[in-house]
Amino acid sequence: MTATVKELAALCGAELIGGDPDARIRGAANVDEADAGQLTFIAGARHAAKLDSTRATAVIVPRALADRAGNGSAALLAVDDPEIAFIVCLRRLHPETRPTGAISDRADIAASASVGAESSVGAFATIGERAMVGERCVLHAGCRVGNDASIGDDCVLHPNVVLYDGVVLGDRVVVHAGAVIGSDGFGYKFRGGAHVKFPQVGSVAIGSDVEIGANTCIDRAALGVTRVGDGTKIDNQVHIAHNVRVGAHALLLGQVGIGGSTVIGDYAILASQSGVSDHVTVGAQAMVLAQAGVTKDVAPKDQVMGFPAANRREALHEMAALRRVAEHAKALDELVKLLPTLRDAAPRDD
């Protein structure tokens, strides 16, 4: 979809400065790659010099850079928050695919299931007994919605997503390709020389406005419910074990692993490849840095790193101390090597 520069300025509440207000914008790109007919943005003053070299037709800038108009041919759209304004314009230039209401004749929908108005279901998708799909949803090809599962309004399930029986999704949930929600938790008891499976008879409840990345797995509870709170965003290849409770608006980055019955607080951030042991609490607004291994509770707003994970500031002090010890050890080794020479050079009392 295209729009004129002045249409985009009005859309994001920008002050339009210079350039051709009637020029048509057909897409967007990074400031270094943008060409004629494209929109770009500059987030702060430290990148202001790029205004002189960009080939973009229009650039969203912070209001502090409004006086740079005239240095180039691009129109400037001056706003308080360039990143949010750029997002608003991107949604206009690249609108999301809306559900068509079409249901493929190659989909398999149980007679007892219900599919809401304007929802579309792709080829080879299957919807089980008594499952409920809300309004304006999109189920792409190959999705499986299990028996008694429930999907809210305006949800999108990308190809080959699997919702096991009884899983519940809130409104406006996006699940990317290959994700599995509701598979059995990993629960066994060792008896008589064998691992005896503890039946996983709980479920999973996902809040509203959650996005779940490709190939992520969220296990059903052994008993009760595994929960993910409203607004939480989960990256690709994340594993959430049984009975975990993830709060609202948390961020779980790629390859995070969370052990069973752990609690992740609201607005917590778990960076890539970090792991959290079972039966641990990570407090609200806490941050677990990349590749950290959390084995005990993390206080709210704390930042931890390393293995076993420790307070970031304390861990950095320990690392600096270890470096100093290593430096001193090297000097000590040099002194030890000199001892024979020093003994030979020392005066003797004969």
Catalytic residues: 242
| CB neighbourhood size of 11 (10 A) | 15
Q: Which helix (H) or strand (E) holds 324?
A: helix 312-345
- Report CA-CA distances (Å) from 289 to 117, 229, 301: 43, 21, 13
Q: What angle do CA 181, 199, 155 make, to 5 degrees?
A: 15
| CB neighbourhood size of 48 (10 A) | 15
C-beta separation of 161 from 183 below 8 A: no
C-beta separation of 57 from 20 below 8 A: yes
- Give the chain's radius of gyration (CA, Å): 28
Reply yes or no: is the peptide bond before residue 308 cis, omega within 30 of 0: yes
What is residue 198's three-state secondary structure?
A: coil
CA 246 – CA 234 distance, rounded (Å) = 10
Phi/psi for 50 (5° steps) reads -70, -15
